[in-house]
């Protein structure tokens, strides 16, 4: 069964800490995404990667960075965690060609609480 695996389901971090969220996919997908999901705001794209070492800012990249050293792994980094980064973080991957109908495969999410 193909899957996207996020390293942690729940995470509690202190303000100012550097936080790493890891995502691994086993489907050889070119594209990988990081979203955050908040009530009333929907899914908001943080960063997108379309190839190894390639990345593109999404709608809300401030306070975040990403790393994609290998095709299967996409990491989200919170440089200095703040309480307004408390959220559900979702990783997704896809083959290229969403306009032809390819969909995203999502991980189960990481619920991050910053205290």
Partner 1 sequence: TQLLEQSPQFLSIQEGENLTVYCNSSSVFSSLQWYRQEPGEGPVLLVTVVTGGEVKKLKRLTFQFGDARKDSSLHITAAQPGDTGLYLCAGAPQGGSEKLVFGKGTKLTVNP
| Residues at the contact surface with partner 1, assessed by CB under 8 A | 4, 31, 33, 40-43, 45, 48, 50, 58, 90, 92, 94, 96-109, 111
At closest approach, how far in Å is the CB of 46 from partner 1? Answer: 12
At closest approach, how far in Å is the CB of 67 from partner 1? Answer: 19
Q: What is the DSSP string of 44-71?
A: EEEEEEEETTEEEE-S--TTEEEEEEET
Nearer to partner 1, 33 or 74 (CB): 33
At closest approach, how far in Å is the CB of 48 from partner 1? Answer: 6
Region for residue 53 given its phi and psi (left: phi exceeds 0; alpha: psi -120 to 50; beta: otherwise): left
Nearer to partner 1, 43 or 77 (CB): 43
Q: Distances in Å between the alpha carbon of 50 and those of 32, 33, 102, 110? A: 7, 9, 14, 22
Nearer to partner 1, 2 or 115 (CB): 2
At closest approach, how far in Å is the CB of 96 from partner 1? Answer: 6
Nearer to partner 1, 14 or 53 (CB): 53
Q: Please give the torsion angle defined by the CA atoms of residues 77, 80, 81 and 85, in that order, rounded to the nearest 10 degrees.
A: -70
């Amino acid at each position: 069964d193909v899957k996207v695996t996020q390293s942690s389901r729940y995470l509690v971090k202190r303000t100012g800490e550097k936080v790493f969220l890891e995502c691994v996919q086993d489907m050889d997908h070119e594209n990988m995404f990081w979203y955050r999901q908040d009530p009333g705001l929907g899914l908001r794209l943080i960063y997108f990667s379309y190839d190894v070492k390639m990345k593109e800012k999404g709608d809300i990249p401030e306070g975040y960075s990403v790393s994609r050293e290998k095709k299967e792994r996409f990491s989200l980094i919170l440089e200095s965690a703040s309480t307004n980064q408390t959220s559900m973080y979702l990783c997704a991957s896809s083959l290229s060609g969403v306009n032809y109908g390819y969909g995203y495969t999502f991980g189960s999410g990481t619920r991050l609480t910053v205290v």
